[in-house]
Amino acid sequence: MSNNYKLKLDGLVCPLPVARTKKKLNEMQSGEILEVSGDFGESGENIKRYIETHGDTVLEFKIEGEDYYLKIEKA
């Protein structure tokens, strides 16, 4: 069974959310799930773009106002 991790990035603006997401993914094993949330919508877009270009999978992506949520599967 794979593990699920959560990363709350409220109050952070780029490049910190992308860097912290990358760091956490590097600590994870293939097939594990990372849920990322924060309150600066542009950071959510940047994280999504990073994930899509580095081989992991975005399973879910939502932005509501400035709040964002991503569910990522580690490749």
Cβ neighbours of residue 66 closer than 8 Å, sequence gap 6 or more: 39, 40, 41
Q: What is the pTM of this model?
A: 0.94
- Determine the Cα–Cα distance for residues 63 and 69; give it in Å rounded to an integer: 7
- Determine the Cα–Cα distance for residues 61 and 38; give it in Å rounded to an integer: 12
**% of residues, the chain, pLDDT over 70:** 97
Domain enclosing residue 28, as ranges: 4-73
Per-residue pLDDT of the chain (75 residues; tens, 9 = 90+): 569 999 999 999 989 999 999 999 999 999 999 999 999 999 999 999 999 999 999 999 999 999 999 999 999
Measured distance between the N- and C-terminal CA atoms of the chain, rounded to whole angstroms: 15
CATH number, domain with residue 47: 3.30.110.40
Structure tokens at 21: 């997401």
Confirm whether 61 is a catalytic residue.
no
Q: Which of 14, 19, 59, 75 is catalytic?
A: 14
Counted domains in the chain:
1
